[in-house]
Structure 1
Amino acid sequence: MSGRGTPSVRLVEGSGIALRVAGLVVWFARPEGADLEELVQGLVVAAQKTPGQVPVDHLATLAGEIPGLSLAAVAVGTDFGRAWVCGGARVTLAGVAEREIAATGAAPDSTYFPLPRSGLRLGGTAEAAGWSHLVEGAVPAAGIEVVWKPAAVVPGVDSSSPAPGPTSAAESGKASGAGSPSRRTPGFESVSLVNVQAPLAAAPLPVGSGATVDDAVVVAGLRCAQGHFNHPHAAHCAWCGIGMAQVSHVLVREPRPAVGVLILDAQATFTLDADYVLGRDPRVRSEVDGIRVRELVLGPDRSISRAHVAIRLRDWDVLVEDLTSAMGTWVQQPGQGPFQIPPGQPLALAPGGVVFVGPHRLTFHSHFLT
Structure 2
Amino acid sequence: MKSSVAGSAAGPAADAPAARQDAGGGPLVLARVCAQGHANPPTRAQCSVCGAALLPDAVQVARPRLGRMRLSTGDLLDLDQSMVIGRQPSVSRVQGGVMPRLVQVASPGGDISRSHVEVRLEGWHVMLCDLKATNGTVLVREGQPPRRLAQNEMAILLDGDIAELGDNISLRFEEIP
TM range (shorter): 0.7 to 0.9
**Residue 137 of structure 1: aligned partner:** 11
C-alpha distance 315-248 of structure 1, shift in aligned 2 (>3 A) = same
**Residue 279 of structure 1: aligned partner:** 86
**Residue 366 of structure 1: aligned partner:** 175
Supply the distance in 2 between the matched residues of 1:225 and 1:249 (Cα, whole angstroms). 11
Q: Where do residues 172-251 of structure 1 align in structure 2 (5 Å cutoff)?
A: 190-191=14-15, 206=18, 209=20, 211=21, 213=23, 215-234=25-44, 236-239=46-49, 241-243=50-52, 246-251=53-58
**Residue 335 of structure 1: aligned partner:** 143
Relative contact order: is structure 1 or structure 2 higher (C-alpha 8 Å, sep ≥ 6)? 2
**Secondary structure in 2 matching 1:253:** strand
Supply the distance in 2 between the matched residues of 1:217 and 1:305 (Cα, whole angstroms). 29
**Residue 38 of structure 1: aligned partner:** none
Superposition deviation, residue 50 in structure 1: 8.7
Superposition deviation, residue 292 in structure 1: 2.8
CA contact (8 A) 2:141 2:160 kept: yes
1:352 aligns with 2:160: yes
Q: For residue 286 of structure 1, what is the amino acid of its counterpart?
A: S
> How many pairs does the alignment contain?
170
Supply the distance in 2 between the matched residues of 1:266 and 1:49 (Cα, whole angstroms). 9
Identity %: 27
CA RMSD between the two structures:
2.9
**Residue 77 of structure 2: aligned partner:** 270
Q: Deviations over 1:66-114 (max 9, x none)?
A: xxxxxxxxxxxxxxxxxxxxxxxxxxxxxxxxxxxxxxxxxxxxxxxxx
C-alpha distance 50-330 of structure 1, shift in aligned 2 (>3 A) = closer
Q: Deviations over 1:221-247 (max 9, x none)?
A: 1111322222234465344x224xx43
Supply the distance in 2 between the matched residues of 1:266 and 1:364 (Cα, whole angstroms). 14
Q: For residue 292 of structure 1, what is the amino acid of its counterpart?
A: M
Q: In structure 2, which of residues 54, 57, 61 is the aligned counterpart of residue 254 of structure 1?
A: 61
CA contact (8 A) 1:213 1:255 kept: no
Larger radius of gyration: 1
Supply the distance in 2 between the matched residues of 1:214 and 1:297 (Cα, whole angstroms). 24
C-alpha distance 50-298 of structure 1, shift in aligned 2 (>3 A) = closer
Superposition deviation, residue 216 in structure 1: 1.1
Q: For residue 227 of structure 1, what is the amino acid of its counterpart?
A: G
Supply the distance in 2 between the matched residues of 1:50 and 1:320 (Cα, whole angstroms). 18
**Secondary structure in 2 matching 1:248:** coil
CA contact (8 A) 2:125 2:156 kept: yes
Q: Deviations over 1:297-329 (max 9, x none)?
A: 111330001111111010010010111111000
CA contact (8 A) 1:319 1:346 kept: yes
**Residue 106 of structure 2: aligned partner:** 299
Superposition deviation, residue 214 in structure 1: 5.4
* TM-score normalised according to structure 1 size: 0.41
Q: For residue 41 of structure 2, what is the amino acid of its counterpart?
A: H
* TM-score normalised according to structure 2 size: 0.81
**Secondary structure in 1 matching 2:174:** strand
Superposition deviation, residue 48 in structure 1: 7.0
Supply the distance in 2 between the matched residues of 1:191 and 1:233 (Cα, whole angstroms). 28
Supply the distance in 2 between the matched residues of 1:50 and 1:275 (Cα, whole angstroms). 14
**Residue 32 of structure 1: aligned partner:** none
CA contact (8 A) 2:138 2:149 kept: yes
Superposition deviation, residue 352 in structure 1: 1.5
C-alpha distance 235-292 of structure 1, shift in aligned 2 (>3 A) = farther
Superposition deviation, residue 138 in structure 1: 4.1
CA contact (8 A) 1:263 1:269 kept: yes
Q: Where do residues 104-119 of structure 1 align in structure 2 (5 Å cutoff)?
A: none
